[in-house]
Structure 1
Amino acid sequence: MKIAGITILLPLLTLTGCAVSQKLSPPQDGKRVKVAVVKPADVDILPMNVIYRSERCRDKILTSTGAISSRDGYHLLTVPFKPEAGSNVVSNAVAFDGGGQCGWKLSNIRFQFQFHDMTAFGQDIKKNIPNDIVFVFDEHAPPRGDGHYEVRSGAVIIQSEYYPVIMNERLIQHAKVLSIEGKRMLTYKLHNTDSIIFSPKVYSEKAVRVLGPEVFGGEAIITYPDGTKISSIKGQHPIDFEKLKLMK
């Protein structure tokens, strides 16, 4: 029985052996994708979280049945955006081929953005929640969401609209929270793409205020910039962004 047990485990020791360096080493002349953001004045663009995967350097995992299995290796790289001189654009380039002994390949890119100064929307706001966007380059599932995405190819330009939402949370946190909201969970699967431009339009003057319920299952009140109030129970009336677009 001992011999059989050793035979089963040896392949796993080979998969997770520490003799192979897991460092990235992108070739200098390798293909890259440029990610650029047309930055609104009152919004911060946070660094990119870049995920590389490797079939060669695999991670050992424990399945729900208690069995030991493996999956493609995972390497996280943080890449900051750099301002482009004379413009409101920030950008950086990411290598498709991560190189190294593991043969790392680009899997996905995710970055967040948030309002620069949350106190501009009220001195009593306690938290500033960002929004995000994800680009997928392989067959692995996106790093968040339900796995759905929009397919794009070639040079990609994405334009989307965002609004400030101030939630007065009265159940758990008992605090006002600012978020930047629009179309949720922007996720794109890209093919033959070497250029991405994200151009968010942010309507900072069209703040929506949400007065949260005082009891579980209670009623929330959504107040739009024109003073319109709508009652919401358990998310039955989400924020109407089409309504916001029409407001002057």
Structure 2
Amino acid sequence: MKKAGITILLPLLTLTGCAVSQKLSPPQDGKHVKVAVVKPADVDILPMKVIYRSERCRDKILTSTGAISSRDGYHLLTVPFKPEAGSNVVSNAVAFDGGGQCGWKLSNIRFQFRYHDFTKFGNKIEDDTPEDIVFIFDDAPPPRGNGHYEEIYGDVVIKKDYYPVILKEFTDIGGDILYIKGQPMLTYRVRSVKKILFEPVFHSNLIVEVLSPQQQGEGYLIMYPNGEKIIDHSFPYSKNTSYAFVKQKGS
């Protein structure tokens, strides 16, 4: 969540000034959105991080200038994915109406995915960086990134390609780092939706290797599957590591 200029988060305020329970209590007959993922065999789909917002139970904030302000309160809920019998799909349903005394409303859903066994890409890998996808259900700003998003209406199937990128000999940890790369910062604002299906397609044979700059001011050395090499100063955000670009330089 964006917290620029905020130094202290104080206890909740309510419109009534009385103590209000912040618990979620979705109505049994309320509407839900089903989030489903076609899970590749060698990839872990991490639990959903679900944010609910409340206009009633507001957060009192003290900004860096000393001014007192407030914002909608928020409630974080972790929702695991469950396997669907007889398929490679994992899914779960999330309530639009969080209910409770605060009148919680669904704001956004975010989840990450990563390789189950990153050691298959080399025994020097010390860390792996998962990729993620975000769905926004209200008019609040996106919870991360540069504020850009794609607006979609109705039920949707999202299919995206991914491949491994290995940052070699990263000096801060003394080993290699594995990234999942595709299209960066996947963020969608969804309207009138009941079901979202996400299908990540992993191309584990398209391995891109990256060497960190050896001296200040130098760029990253990017090595593609076909053996081509280029110098890049914008890694890991460069277009030179987009899936379409890498596919052209595949083996």
- Fold shared per TM-score above 0.5: yes
Contact 1:56 1:102 in 2 (8 A): yes
**What is the CA distance between 1:129 and its match in structure 2?**
0.5
SS in 2 for 1:243: helix
1:243 paired to 2:241: no
Distance in structure 1 (CA, Å) of the matches to 2:169 and 2:182: 20
Instruction: Please tell me the residue identity of whatever aligns with 1:221.
Output: L
Within 5 Å, which residues of 2 pair with 1:39-188? 39-188=39-188
Contact 1:171 1:214 in 2 (8 A): no
Distance (Å, rounded) in 2 between the aligned partners of 1:242 and 1:177: 22
Q: List alignment gaps of at least 5 residues for structure 1.
A: 1-11
Of the structure 1 ranges 215-224 and 176-185, higher mean CA displacement relative to structure 2 is found in 215-224
Runs of 4 or more, structure 1, over 4 Å off, are 12-18, 234-237
The yes-or-no answer on 1:213 pairing with 2:213 is yes
CA distance in 1, matches of 2:218, 2:170: 11
Give the alignment's Cα RMSD to 1 decimal. 1.8
DSSP 3-state at the match of 2:25: coil
Matched, 1:193 2:197: no
Letter in 2 for 1:206: L
Q: Indicate if the aligned counterparts of 1:16 and 1:58 stay in contact, CA closer than 8 A.
A: no
Higher helix share: 1
Report the Cα distance in structure 2 between the residues aligned to 1:123 and 1:14, rounded to whole angstroms: 53
Q: What is the TM-score of this pair, normalised by structure 1?
A: 0.90
* Mapped contact 1:16–1:59 kept (Cα < 8 A): no
Shift of 1:65: 2.3
Question: What residue number does 1:24 align with?
Answer: 24
Letter in 2 for 1:150: E
* 1: CA distance, partners of 2:51 / 2:182: 25
State the TM-score, normalized to the length of structure 2.
Answer: 0.89
Which is greater in Rg? 1
Distance 2:16 2:234 in 1: 47
Aligned length: 237
In the TM superposition, residue 239 of structure 1 has moved relative to its aligned partner by 1.9
Q: Report if the CA contact (8 A) 1:155-1:196 is conserved.
A: yes
CA contact (8 A) 1:171 1:216 kept: no
Contact 1:231–1:237 (CA<8 Å) still a contact in 2?
A: no
Residue 76 of structure 1, CA deviation = 0.1
